[in-house]
């Protein structure tokens, strides 16, 4: 709730409280007026009664006066003295209500006036009770501004009515007195009300409002992501589930998952506050292409989900790409320029009635495809993709399980020297069996292990296992181990190799490490440094699969390899275009020799290939013609057949 809105509500409440206080104030004033009227009436009545008593007492011929209406001179004098104090006029009525005397008229001489019956006097005659009515005076008639007409019955000892005296009592001063003192009371009551009612009312209303805001906020937090203001995953699922049940004809709905590529780097490089800004940037990017019917949520971490409704799949893909392009634009945050791509996975809802969770997991499959396909991509879910992903997940489980349970095997493929045609060493090749017992090719599971971040641990096992095995072989043989680029990342490779050599007792020159050109592309300096340290240990380093990458002379020169392994595609090319293949092989071998490297040809399958390569002075041969990769136990056979006899029992077992 914005501060402005809170202020607006506060003003409304204060106005309401003031209004109700004013109404109450009005009621108080009314009540006070009523009380003043009563007090003044009571005063008038008392004065009128006193006056009547005085009048009757000072005129002994009262009954006569009432019956005749004539005043004697003495009576006239008494009457004029009776007009003292507040009583400024009086009238007398006989017991039937006829006016018989008025202070400013001597008598009511004519019949007309005698016949005049006063209603109030009649009422008093009937009730024998005094009657007072208050009047505001009119200036022009010389009347006081407030006076009372008080009718009092004059009774004999037996209680019989003798006459009715009507006195006009000036109550101006009494009224003023009461107004002054009770007016102050009214103000005091008003202020009291304001404090005892108005202020608590305002406080109550504010508290109620705040409680409602807190409730709204709690409801908002329960269904939204506070940082981006988007829905959370739970609420998203509820809304989308309802939408699935009420599909709009002619419109297609898809669930899209967007995931920031390498979001961790943004957090690591610029801090978490910047990471938060980037998440908001993603939310804004989605917002720019959002239609009213779309539902958007932050599903957690750096993942966003959209239920996208469009006329066609083409339109969906084009909008998702537009969102991705918008997000990919760099943003500035406190002087830094941040940029990251996003990957997307789309599942177009079909009529088969998948639940939101099923649909989301299909979009997740598509997202996964985008990620392993190089990121910054959008993929659509399909049955084939699902099958591929299922197989991949199976393999991931297999790799995970084998890593935890030492479930890998090492097979060894012999390498032969050109000159004496003896086995000079073996390449250790990683093997993994699936649940049916069939071997999964390393070209399939090694990249998976790399993406799972497990290859460093597996590679370490390979180094330890291979050195331990090779240490049992004749001292003139070596073992060759393939490295993955990931093994260079945590800077522990050199110590791993050093420890393995120490542990196994294998002489460092008997260990060969194979790297490929593609690895060198990634991080030249870091890898070069570690390769130098490895060489310093006395280990030799070979460039594997030469010719499949950039075939860069620069790398060969820069890293000072001990050996170059020519990829088997060149060897097999001898079958198709012998002349050209021979020329290329000749050039590579000459070049390697010039740079002081030995050359191994991989994948020799025919005697003809071996013969040509021997003619080109290739140093070592590897291929099915000479021996297939086999478990350590098979190594002994190779040694025997190539005339090497000094194999320790451990390697045969
Ligand atoms: P690579 O290092 O080039 O290994 C040679 C591959 O060629 C092996 O395949 C081997 O079985 C195969 N090969 C050898 N002679 C012949 C032949 O005459 N004809 C044919 N068609 N193939 C032949 P493998 O064992 O399937 O290994 C494939 C790749 O997997 C290796 O290529 C290597 O890059 C990788 N790899 C194997 N073990 C490891 C390991 O422990 N760590 C790492 N990082 N990668 C490994
Ligand atoms: Mg190799
Ligand atoms: Mg190779």
Residue with the two structure tokens 């045969």: 652
Q: Looking at residue 106, what is its pLDDT?
A: 58
For residue 422, give the DSSP letter. -
Ligand nearest to the backbone CA of 625: 1
In this prediction, residues 54-81 reach a mean pLDDT of 79
Length of the chain in residues, anyone? 653
Mean pLDDT lowest for which of 89-98, 99-108, 259-268, 450-459?
A: 99-108
Q: What pLDDT shows up at residue 571? A: 96
Ligand 1 pocket, residue 30 CB under 6 Å: no
| Minimum mean pLDDT range among 21-25, 348-352, 409-413, 621-625 | 21-25
The model's pLDDT over 187-240, given as tens digits with 9 standing for 90+, comes to: 777 677 667 766 777 788 778 888 898 898 888 888 999 999 999 999 999 999
| 604-611: average pLDDT | 95
Q: Which of 427, 482, 511 to mutate to test the pocket of ligand 1 (most atoms within 8 A of CB)?
A: 482
Looking at residues 269-296, what average pLDDT do you find? 94
Ligand 1 binding pocket includes 545 (Cβ within 6 Å):
yes
Residue having the nearest C-alpha atom to atom 45 of ligand 1: 482
Distance 413 CA to ligand 1 centre (A): 9
Whether 101 shows a pLDDT value over 50: the answer reads yes
Q: Which residues touch 468 (CB under 8 Å, ≥6 apart)?
A: 500, 503, 504, 506
40 lines ligand 1 (CB under 6 A): no
Any idea what the Cα angle at residue 241 is, between residues 236 and 247, rounded to 5°? 120
545 CA to centre of ligand 3 in angstroms: 4
Give residue 446 CA to ligand 3 midpoint distance, Å: 14
The lowest-confidence range among 113-122, 301-310, 617-626, 641-650 is: 641-650
Inter-axis angle of helices 199-223 and 233-245, to 10 degrees?
70
**Using a 6 Å cutoff on CB, does residue 627 contact ligand 1?**
no
**Mean pLDDT across 547-561:** 80
> In this model, does residue 439 exceed pLDDT 90?
yes
The bound ligand whose nearest atom lies closest to the alpha carbon of 567 is 3
Q: How far is CA 125 from CA 49, 158, 168, 334, in A?
A: 15, 15, 18, 99
Give the residue, 408 or 77, on which the prediction is more confident.
408
In the numeric block, which tokens belong to residue 323? 């969102």
Give me ligand 1 centre to Cα 625, in Å: 15
Residue 586 burial by Cβ neighbours in a 10 Å radius (0-12, 13-18, 19+): middle
More confident residue, 264 or 194: 264
105 pLDDT band (50/70/90 cuts)?
Answer: low
Q: Mean pLDDT check: name the lowest of 196-200, 272-276, 361-365.
A: 196-200
User: Exposed, middle or buried: residue 619 (CB in 10 Å: 0-12, 13-18, 19+)?
Assistant: buried
pLDDT in tens, 567-593: 999 999 999 999 999 999 999 999 999
349 Cβ partners below 8 Å, 6+ apart? 244, 247, 252, 253, 254, 255, 359
Going by alpha carbons, the residue nearest to atom 12 of ligand 1 is: 603
CB-proximal residues (5 Å) to ion ligand 3:
544-545, 602
Considering every ligand atom shown, identify the ligand nearest to the alpha carbon of residue 483 and give its number.
1
Which pLDDT band holds residue 521 (cuts at 50, 70, 90)? confident
Q: Is the pLDDT reported for residue 8 higher than 80?
A: no
**Which domains occur in the chain, in start order?**
3-223 (3.30.450.20), 233-381 (3.30.70.270), 394-651 (3.20.20.450)
Q: What DSSP assignment string belongs to 27-94? A: HHHHHHHHHHHHHHHHHHHHHHHHHHHHHHHH-TTHHHHHHH----HHHHHHHHHHS-TTEEEEEEEE
Both tokens of 275, joined, read 């990471």
Model pLDDT, residue 488: 93
Regarding the beta carbon of 603 and ligand 1, being less than 6 Å apart is answered yes
**157 burial type by CB count under 10 A (0-12 exposed, 13-18 middle, 19+ buried):** exposed
Q: What's the 470 CA to ligand 1 centre distance in angstroms?
A: 18
Residue of the CA atom closest to atom 5 of ligand 1:
602
Assign 649 a pLDDT band (cuts: 50, 70, 90). very low
Is residue 429's pLDDT more than 50? yes
90-119: average pLDDT: 71
Q: List CB-based neighbours of ion ligand 2 within 5 Å.
A: 482, 514, 544
DSSP letters for 471-519: TTS-TT-EEEEE--GGGGTTS-HHHHHHHHHHHHT--GGGEEEEEEHHH
The ligand 1 atom at the shortest distance from the C-alpha of residue 625 is: 18
Beta strands in 604-652 (DSSP E): 620-621, 630-631
Q: Hey, is 271 helix, strand or coil?
A: coil
- Distance in Å from the first CA to the final CA of the chain: 77
Instruction: Determine what percent of the chain is predicted with pLDDT higher than 70.
Output: 92
Site of tokens 């006239």: 76
290/13: higher pLDDT = 290
> Mapping DSSP to helix (H, G, I), strand (E, B) and coil, where does residue 294 land?
coil
Residue having the nearest C-alpha atom to atom 42 of ligand 1: 482
Minimum mean pLDDT range among 5-19, 319-333, 522-536: 5-19
DSSP secondary structure letters along 315-374: HHHHHHHHHHHHHHS-EEETTEEE---EEEEEEE--TT---HHHHHHHHHHHHHHHHHTT
Cβ 364 under 6 angstroms from ligand 1? no
Cβ-proximal residues to 124 (8 Å cutoff; 6+ apart), any chain: 130, 131, 151, 152, 153, 164
Is 465 near ligand 1, meaning CB less than 6 Å away? no
User: 446 in ligand 1 pocket by Cβ < 6 Å?
Assistant: yes
**How confident is residue 320, by pLDDT bands cut at 50, 70 and 90?**
very high
**Has residue 651 got a pLDDT over 50?**
no
Residue 62 CB coordination number (10 Å): 17
CA separation, residue 147 to residues 44, 50, 176 (Å): 8, 17, 12
126 with 135: CB under 8 angstroms? no
| C-alpha to C-alpha distance for 561 and 427, rounded to whole angstroms | 17
Is residue 47 scored above 60 in pLDDT?
A: yes
Pocket test for ligand 1, best of 402, 426, 429 (most atoms within 8 A of CB): 429
Give the ligand whose atoms come closest to the C-alpha of residue 456.
Answer: 1
Is residue 111 pLDDT above 60, yes or no?
Answer: no
Question: How many CB atoms within 10 Å of residue 262?
Answer: 13
What does the pLDDT read at residue 59? 83
CB-side neighbour CA atoms (13 Å) of 173: 5
Could you say which ligand is closest to the alpha carbon of residue 547? 3
402, 575, 602, 628: which to mutate for ligand 1, most atoms within 8 A of CB?
A: 602
Check pocket membership of 99 for ligand 1, CB cut-off 6 A: no
Residue 137 has pLDDT above 50, yes or no: yes
Mean pLDDT of 299-317: 95
The β-bridge partners of 411 are 429, 631
Closest ligand 1 atom, residue 411 Cα: 25
Name the closest-CA residue to atom 23, ligand 1: 603
Over residues 282-295, the mean pLDDT reads: 95
User: Whole-angstrom Cα distance, residue 518 to residue 536?
Assistant: 23
Average pLDDT, the chain: 87
Nearest to 639 by CA among 467, 425, 363, 354: 425
Nearest to 177 by CA among 54, 50, 86, 51: 86
For residue 288, name the pLDDT band (cuts at 50, 70, 90). Answer: very high
602 C-alpha to ligand 1 centroid (Å): 9
């Amino acid at each position: 709730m914005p501060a402005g809105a809170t202020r607006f509500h506060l003003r409304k409440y204060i106005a309401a409280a003031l209004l109700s206080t004013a109404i109450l104030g009005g009621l108080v004033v009314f009540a006070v007026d009523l009380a003043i009227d009563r007090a003044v009436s009571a005063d008038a009545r008392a004065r009128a009664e006193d006056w009547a008593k005085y009048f009757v007492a000072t005129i002994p011929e009262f009954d006569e006066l009432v019956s005749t209406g004539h005043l004697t001179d003495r009576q006239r004098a008494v009457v004029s003295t009776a007009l003292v104090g507040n009583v400024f006029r009086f009238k007398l009525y006989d017991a039937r209500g006829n006016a018989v005397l008025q202070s400013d008229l001597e008598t009511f001489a004519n019949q007309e006036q005698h016949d005049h019956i006063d209603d109030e006097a009649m009422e008093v005659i009937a009730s024998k009770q005094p009657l007072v009515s208050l009047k505001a005076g009119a200036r022009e008639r010389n009347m006081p501004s407030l006076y009372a007409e008080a009718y009092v019955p004059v009774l004999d000892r037996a209680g019989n009515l003798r006459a009715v005296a009507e006195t006009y009592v000036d109550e101006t001063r009494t009224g003023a007195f009461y107004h002054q003192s009770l007016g102050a009371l009214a103000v005091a009551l008003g202020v009291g009300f304001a404090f005892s009612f108005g202020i608590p009312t305002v406080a109550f209303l504010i508290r109620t409002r705040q409680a409602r805001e807190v409730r709204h906020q709690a409801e908002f937090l329960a269904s939204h992501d506070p940082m981006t203001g988007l829905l959370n995953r739970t609420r998203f699922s509820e809304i989308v589930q309802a939408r699935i049940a009420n599909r709009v004809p002619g419109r297609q709905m898809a669930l899209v998952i967007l995931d920031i590529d390498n979001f961790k780097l943004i957090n690591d490089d610029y801090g978490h506050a910047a990471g938060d800004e980037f998440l908001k940037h993603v939310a804004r990017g989605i917002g720019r292409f959002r239609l009213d019917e779309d539902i958007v949520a932050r599903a957690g971490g750096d993942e966003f989900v959209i239920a996208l409704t469009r006329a066609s799949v083409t339109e969906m893909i084009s909008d998702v790409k537009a969102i991705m392009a918008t997000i990919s634009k760099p943003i500035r945050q406190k002087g830094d320029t941040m940029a990251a791509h996003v990957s997307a996975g789309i599942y177009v809802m079909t009529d088969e009635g998948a639940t939101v969770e099923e649909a989301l997991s299909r979009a997740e499959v598509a997202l996964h495809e985008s990620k392993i396909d190089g990121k910054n991509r959008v993929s659509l879910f399909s049955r084939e993709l699902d099958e591929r992903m299922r197989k991949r997940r199976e393999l991931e489980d297999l790799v995970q399980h084998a890593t935890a349970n030492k479930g890998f095997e090492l097979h060894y493929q012999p390498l032969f020297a050109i000159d004496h045609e003896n086995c000079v060493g073996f390449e250790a090749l990683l093997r993994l069996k699936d649940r049916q017992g069939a071997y999964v090719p390393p070209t399939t599971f090694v990249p998976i292990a790399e993406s799972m971040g497990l290859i460093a641990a597996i590679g370490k096992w390979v180094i330890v296992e291979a050195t331990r095995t090779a240490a049992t072989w004749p001292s003139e043989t070596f073992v060759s181990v393939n490295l993955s680029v990931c093994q260079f990342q945590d800077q522990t490779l050199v110590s791993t190799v050093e420890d393995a050599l120490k542990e196994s007792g294998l002489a460092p020159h008997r260990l060969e490490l194979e790297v490929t050109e593609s690895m060198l592309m990634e991080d030249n300096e870091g890898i070069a440094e570690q390769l130098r340290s490895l060489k310093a240990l006395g280990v030799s380093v070979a460039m594997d699969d030469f010719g499949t990458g950039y075939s860069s002379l620069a790398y060969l020169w820069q890293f000072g390899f001990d050996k170059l392994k020519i990829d088997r595609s060149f060897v097999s090319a001898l079958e198709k275009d012998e002349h050209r293949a021979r020329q290329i092989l000749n050039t590579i071998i000459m070049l390697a020799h010039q740079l002081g490297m030995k050359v191994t040809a991989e994948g020799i399958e025919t005697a003809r290939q071996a013969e040509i390569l021997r003619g080109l002075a290739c140093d070592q041969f590897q291929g099915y013609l000479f021996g297939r990769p086999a478990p350590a136990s098979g190594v002994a056979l190779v040694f025997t057949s190539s005339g090497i006899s000094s194999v320790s029992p451990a390697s045969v077992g």
